[in-house]
């Protein structure tokens, strides 16, 4: 007699999950990190035991094979993404792409078709300081510069934007020192630039930035307030091109062709071509490719009269992406896209049964879909330290129907305006729709029905999805067995959350570097904290240290009320600066002739020639000196050396002023007699930890 299956096995989806799992744990597993070993044993041993018990030896071999193949693909991906290192000045020639952002005093651009010392090289992110003529998109530029290798991982997370774009280096160049030659603009760049011009000519700057983000996923034109409103209201997914957008696009094109009675093969071919072209214009972003492949599979199933399997389709699209680009397995956008689909497939049937008893069926559908997706992406929203709004399903209920009309209209009118500029007047209604969405988002973003999410550890995320799967209809077991499985998952989830949230208090200095910005976080034995400057890695570092809020902020530059308001989310009690905006009570200007006390920290600014040499900070009987390298040059070396000799600190952070240390690029440690030099490009972000008067250094990348 045949035994009833507990799980309907998908021969594409489940091997893909093991392949994905194999890639994501390989980095930590083979470096011997305890949590990776524990999670692999906890998940694979019970799975293997169950399959052996039920004599599913082929499935066992298939799943474990893809796990180890995933391990191998991680190392292949890392090897292929690793770029050669260069020392000293190198000769660079490249073409300016449309990944270009211009400010008042500088411009940041990605150059492609690069040659470094006459040989083919990877893309470079260049910061052009104003001094001469700024290059334009398509121009060929030549210059000499010192290249910094951009790290693939920072604080354990993939630098998704640079990996996705294929950028390996960064450098700073003054426009006086570059040679500009005319070049050509690529077709995809022409399309994007023409659409951008059309949007900004007819819409407000804010709405034009939102419209461009909606079309291509480029959020560089969005202000802080807009991003915050969309995040806090739970509709940030509208700004990321994903399955929602591609689904609307397929419905638009395929539906129009069917309305015109086009042959089904013609309709499939044209729609597929549009999806591929749109993916190309979006830079082949993983979320777009995933949605595009799934859309093509849906159409193929209908074309040949086959049943569509959403999980196998998801697995097939995931395999295509990860085989071509293995480290995309760490891309939060890609993982969010996958989990969103999984959440809807797994949880929607359960939620629709519940909500259709309470609401009209059309409303129950929207609520079930929205809630399923929101729950599934929760761990990845937390990765951004975002806010979860308990009313997000209500916002989506109001906004998504409007967006389902607005996006196809925006798509058509934007491309029409790019081809026929006189038709740009048709974009005006887009502004009305975006204004309505922004108004709705602003209302819900300010409600009290929301809470701040802290990033989940990988172990917590794994058990979270195990719990979601146990709740789904795909587990074909008796209710009592489902209850025990769910209870076990919840128990593991709670235990792992508790263990990963524990914090041990130690005296330490955390050094962070991101895109030319240094940040140093000091943590005392009693748990108090001080931050010297800030950058994009701050939230991630706080999560790794299990720090909920920071106490004091110290800057070597100026402090404005606007900047203080942006930093208030970290919980700072006081802001200290040499020059500041006194309109905010928490901002305090420091007299350079005095020593100040803030909790466990004592500090003073060390002046010279009406400038600041740096900040000298003491805590837990340890001293550090942070150099204001922007105020120093080669002529100040004697002053710097005399200061170090006089104060004899435990640690000295010299910034990017290479004149201050012969061998260092970013950071120098001087352990009272024993001088040690650390260099960020090869050693990454670091934690300097004191225990029993001994200083230990560990890399935290």
**CATH number of residue 540's parent domain:** 3.60.15
pLDDT digits (tens, 9 = 90+) for 393-449: 788 878 888 888 898 899 899 999 988 888 888 999 999 999 999 888 888 888 777
Closest CA to 281 of 194, 188, 219: 188
Task: Give the end of a domain, one of 55, 81, 107.
Answer: 81
Parallel/antiparallel/unpaired status of strands 157-158 and 140-146: unpaired
Instruction: Answer whether 280's CB lies under 8 Å from 374's CB.
Output: no
Q: According to DSSP H, which parts of 325-427 are helical?
A: 332-355, 361-376, 378-383, 392-419
What pLDDT is stored for residue 16 in this prediction? 95
Q: Same structural domain for residues 136 and 249?
A: no
Does residue 473 belong to any structural domain of this protein?
no
What pLDDT is stored for residue 303 in this prediction? 79
What pLDDT is stored for residue 670 in this prediction? 44
Task: Give the end of a domain, one of 185, 205, 237.
Answer: 185
How many Cβ atoms sit within 10 Å of the Cβ of residue 141? Answer: 21
Distance CA 569, CA 561 (A): 14
Closest CA to 346 of 389, 384, 393, 314: 314
Q: Same structural domain for residues 76 and 107?
A: no
SS3 586: coil
SS3 558: strand
Does residue 342 belong to any structural domain of this protein?
no
The number of folded domains in the chain is 4
Parallel/antiparallel/unpaired status of strands 587-589 and 552-554: unpaired
Q: Same structural domain for residues 630 and 580?
A: yes
Does residue 362 belong to any structural domain of this protein?
no
Dihedral of the alpha carbons of 440, 443, 444, 449, in degrees to the nearest 10: -160
Q: Same structural domain for residues 108 and 175?
A: yes
Q: Same structural domain for residues 198 and 243?
A: yes
What pLDDT is stored for residue 326 in this prediction? 94
Instruction: Answer whether 202's CB lies under 8 Å from 156's CB.
Output: no
Structural domain for 66, as ranges? 1-81
Does residue 181 belong to any structural domain of this protein?
yes
Phi (first) and psi of residue 277, to 5 degrees = -65, -40
Q: Same structural domain for residues 29 and 107?
A: no
Q: Same structural domain for residues 32 and 97?
A: no
Does residue 462 belong to any structural domain of this protein?
no
Task: Give the end of a domain, one of 125, 151, 185.
Answer: 185
Does residue 230 belong to any structural domain of this protein?
yes
For the chain, give the number of residues.
701
Tell me 661's DSSP state.
-
What pLDDT is stored for residue 322 in this prediction? 93
Distance CA 338, CA 322 (A): 12
What pLDDT is stored for residue 4 in this prediction? 55
Does residue 113 belong to any structural domain of this protein?
yes
Q: Same structural domain for residues 661 and 569?
A: yes
Q: Give just the sign of the alpha carbon dihedral 441, 442, 444, 446.
A: positive
How many Cβ atoms sit within 10 Å of the Cβ of residue 18? Answer: 21
pTM recorded for the entire structure: 0.82
Does residue 231 belong to any structural domain of this protein?
yes
Q: Same structural domain for residues 170 and 203?
A: no
Q: Same structural domain for residues 53 and 103?
A: no
What pLDDT is stored for residue 665 in this prediction? 38
Q: Give just the sign of the alpha carbon dihedral 653, 658, 663, 666.
A: positive
Closest CA to 336 of 461, 452, 437, 229: 461
Tell me 90's DSSP state.
E
Q: Same structural domain for residues 533 and 648?
A: yes
Instruction: Answer whether 193's CB lies under 8 Å from 137's CB.
Output: yes
Tell me 629's DSSP state.
G
Low-confidence ranges of the chain (pLDDT < 50): 1-2, 662-667, 669-675, 681
Instruction: Answer whether 194's CB lies under 8 Å from 142's CB.
Output: no
Parallel/antiparallel/unpaired status of strands 167-174 and 574-577: unpaired
Q: Same structural domain for residues 547 and 683?
A: yes
């Amino acid at each position: 007699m045949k035994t009833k299956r507990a799980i309907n096995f998908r021969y594409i989806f489940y091997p893909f999950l093991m392949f994905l799992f194999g890639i994501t744990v390989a980095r930590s597993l083979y470096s011997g990190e305890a949590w990776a070993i524990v999670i692999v044993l906890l998940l694979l041993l019970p799975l293997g035991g169950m399959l052996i018990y039920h004599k599913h030896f082929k499935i066992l071999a298939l799943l474990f094979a893809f796990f180890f193949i995933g391990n191998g693909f991680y190392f292949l991906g890392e090897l292929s993404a690793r770029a050669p290192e260069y020392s000293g000045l190198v000769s660079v020639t490249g073409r300016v792409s449309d990944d270009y952002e211009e400010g008042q005093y500088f411009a940041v651009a990605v150059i492609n078709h690069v040659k470094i010392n006459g040989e083919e090289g990877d893309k470079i992110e260049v910061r052009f300081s104003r001094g001469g003529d700024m290059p334009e998109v398509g121009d060929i530029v030549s210059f000499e510069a010192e290249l910094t290798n951009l790290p693939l991982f920072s604080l354990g997370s993939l630098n998704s934007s640079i990996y996705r774009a294929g950028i390996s280096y960064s450098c700073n160049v003054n426009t006086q020192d570059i040679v500009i030659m005319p070049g050509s603009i690529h077709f995809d760049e022409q399309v994007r630039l023409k659409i951008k011009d059309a949007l900004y000519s007819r819409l407000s700057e804010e709405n034009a930035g939102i419209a461009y983000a909606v079309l291509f996923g480029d959020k560089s034109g969005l202000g802080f307030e807009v991003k915050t409103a969309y995040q806090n209201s739970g509709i940030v997914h509208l700004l990321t091109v994903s399955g929602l957008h591609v689904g609307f696009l397929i419905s638009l094109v395929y539906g129009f062709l069917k309305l015109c009675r086009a042959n089904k093969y013609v309709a499939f071919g044209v729609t597929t071509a549009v999806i591929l072209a749109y993916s190309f214009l979006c830079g082949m972003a993983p979320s777009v490719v995933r949605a595009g492949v799934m859309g093509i599979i849906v159409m193929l199933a209908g074309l040949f009269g086959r049943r569509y399997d959403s999980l196998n389709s998801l697995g097939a699209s995931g395999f295509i992406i990860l085989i071509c680009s293995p480290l995309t397995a760490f891309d939060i956008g890609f993982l969010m896209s996958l989990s969103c689909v999984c959440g809807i497939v797994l949880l929607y049937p359960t939620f629709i049964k519940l909500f259709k008893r309470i609401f009209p069926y059309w409303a129950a559908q929207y609520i079930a879909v929205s809630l399923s997706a929101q729950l599934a992406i929760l761990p990845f929203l937390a990765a951004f330290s975002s806010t979860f709004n308990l009313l997000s399903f209500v916002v989506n209920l109001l906004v998504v129907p409007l967006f389902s009309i607005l996006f196809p209209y925006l798509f058509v009118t934007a491309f029409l305006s790019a081809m026929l500029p006189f038709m740009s007047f048709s974009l005006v209604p887009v502004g009305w729709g975006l204004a309505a969405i922004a108004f709705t988002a602003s209302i819900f973003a300010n409600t009290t029905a929301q809470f701040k999410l802290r990033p989940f550890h990988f172990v917590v995320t794994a058990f979270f999805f195990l719990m979601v799967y146990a709740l789904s209809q795909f587990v074909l077991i008796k209710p009592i067995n489902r209850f025990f499985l769910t209870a076990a998952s919840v128990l593991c989830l709670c235990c792992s959350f508790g263990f990963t949230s524990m914090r041990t208090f130690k005296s330490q200095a955390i050094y962070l570097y991101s895109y030319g910005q240094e940040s140093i976080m000091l943590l005392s034995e009693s748990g108090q904290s001080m931050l010297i400057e800030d950058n994009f890695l701050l939230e991630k570092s706080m999560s790794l240290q299990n720090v909920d809020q920071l106490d004091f902020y110290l800057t070597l530059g100026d402090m404005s009320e606007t900047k203080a308001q942006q930093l208030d989310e970290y919980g700072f009690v006081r802001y200290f600066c040499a020059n500041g905006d006194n309109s905010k009570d928490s901002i305090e200007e420091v007299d350079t002739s005095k020593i100040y006390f803030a909790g466990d920290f004592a500090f003073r600014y060390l002046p010279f020639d009406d400038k600041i040499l740096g900040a000298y900070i003491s805590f837990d009987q340890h001293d550090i000196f942070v150099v204001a390298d922007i105020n120093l040059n080669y002529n100040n070396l004697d002053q710097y050396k005399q200061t170090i000799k006089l104060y004899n600190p435990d640690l000295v952070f010299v910034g990017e002023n290479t004149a201050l240390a012969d061998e260092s690029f970013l950071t120098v440690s001087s352990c009272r007699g024993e001088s040690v030099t650390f260099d960020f490009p090869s050693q990454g972000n670091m934690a300097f930890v004191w225990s029993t008067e001994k200083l230990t250094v560990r890399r935290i990348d």
